[in-house]
Amino acid sequence: MQVISFNACNDLSVSYLNIMNSPRSHINVNDCDNATFSSITIHSPPNTPNTDGIDVYASKNIWIKDSNIACGDDCIAISGNSSYVNVTGVACGPGHGISIGSLGRGNAMTAEQIYVQNCSFTRTTNGARIKTFPNGPGYARAITFEQITLIKAGNPIVINQFYNDPSTWGEVEVSEITFRDFNGTSAYDKAITLNCDPQGCFNITLDQINIVSSKGGKRVYCSGRNVHGTATSTYPNCSCLSS
Query: What domains appear along the chain, each with residue ranges and CATH number?
Result: 4-235 (2.160.20.10)
Q: List the catalytic residue out of 26, 52, 55, 73.
A: 73
**Is position 96 annotated as part of the catalytic site?**
yes
Q: What are 24-36's pLDDT values in tens digits?
A: 999 999 999 999 9
Q: List the catalytic residue out of 96, 181, 197, 207.
A: 96
Residue 133, pLDDT score: 84
Lowest mean pLDDT among 59-68, 145-154, 156-165: 156-165
Res. 235: pLDDT tops 80? yes
Mean pLDDT of the chain: 94
Give the mean model confidence (pLDDT) for residues 47-58: 95
Residue 233, C-beta contacts closer than 8 angstroms, at least 6 positions apart: 207, 208, 209
**Is position 73 annotated as part of the catalytic site?**
yes
Nearest 5°: the CA angle 125, 127, 131 is 90
Q: What are 105-152's pLDDT values in tens digits?
A: 767 789 999 999 999 999 999 999 999 987 778 999 999 999 999 999
Longest dimension (CA), the chain: 51
Q: For 76, phi and psi rounded to 5 degrees?
A: -140, 135
